[in-house]
Amino acid sequence: MAVKFQYNKTSQQQLDKQLKVRERALPTLQNKEAALRIEVKKAKRRADELGQELETQMAGLDKMSRLWGEFDMQIISIEDVILESKKIAGVQTPILKDVVFKKEPFALFSKPVWFFDGVKIIEDLAKVGIEREVFLRKMELLDVARKKTTQKVNLYEKVQIPGYKDAIRKIKRFLEDEENLSKSAQKIVKNRQQQEKEVAS
């Protein structure tokens, strides 16, 4: 990105302002990027842990696969997932508050004794699965924000700040050269006038 400028003091002052804005913003952006990077790792770690927990619970249920054939899946369903949001480094992220289940009544005498435990197991599995999805979504949102912040940090650090500094340096050199030429021209004119005075007198 080439910085547009003119060779004058006004342009130099504007570039100075833009440079200062970016130099002041850069540490904040770098801190935000670092915070987002940490939060993405935390969310990923938690999602992985929940995924592992879900696999372990599912593997434990394989032993009872014959019993699950008798279980009536119609007696329990998810009615609502209650989420809240929390800002992390300026990014709104979801937090699972609760999972509300709808339970259909069933006759205790016509169903096996373990049906109550089955309902509890289904609830636990669903909660773990939903919480994992929430953490994956959180990780996704944070990662998108981190990538944007990284791009901005790189833009400031590698393109704009050096670009502004270079443009300011060019303007300063131009103005110094112009001033030196002006002084030299004044000296030449002064010397010529003095010579003319000496010749005249």
Helix 115-154 vs helix 9-62: crossing angle, to nearest 10: 160
Angle (CA) 91-39-88 rounded to 5° is 25
Residue 16 makes CB contacts below 8 A (sequence gap 6+) with 168
Question: Which pairs with CB-CB distance under 8 Å and at least 24 residues apart come from 142-147?
Answer: 142/36, 142/39, 142/40, 142/43, 142/88, 142/89, 142/91, 142/93, 143/36, 143/40, 145/36, 145/89, 145/90, 145/91, 146/33, 146/36, 146/37, 146/40
Contact 29, 152 (CB under 8 A): yes
- Given this model, what pLDDT does residue 67 score? 64
- Given this model, what pLDDT does residue 182 score? 85
Q: Which residue has the higher pLDDT, 49 or 7?
A: 49
CA–CA distance, 95 with 97 (Å, rounded to integer): 6
The pTM (predicted TM-score) of the whole model is: 0.76
Q: Which two tokens stand for residue 66?
A: 């014959």
Q: Which residue has the higher pLDDT, 200 or 77?
A: 77
The answer to which of 11-25, 101-115, 151-165 has the lowest mean pLDDT is: 101-115
- Given this model, what pLDDT does residue 61 score? 76
Helix residue spans in the chain (DSSP H):
9-62, 65-68, 115-154, 161-200
DSSP one-letter code for 111:
S
Q: Which of 77-81, 109-113, 129-133, 197-201 has the highest mean pLDDT?
A: 129-133
Return the percentage of the chain with pLDDT > 70, whole number.
90
The CATH classification of domain 9-179, taken from the options 1.10.287.3240, 1.10.357.10, 1.10.760.10, 3.40.640.10: 1.10.287.3240
pLDDT digits (tens, 9 = 90+) for 101-153: 988 876 666 666 677 777 888 899 999 999 999 999 999 999 999 999 999 99
Q: Which two tokens stand for residue 49?
A: 């842990």
The answer to which of 12-21, 132-141, 177-186 has the lowest mean pLDDT is: 177-186
Q: Rounded mean pLDDT of the chain?
A: 88
Q: Where are the domains of the chain?
A: 9-179
Residue 193 makes CB contacts below 8 A (sequence gap 6+) with none
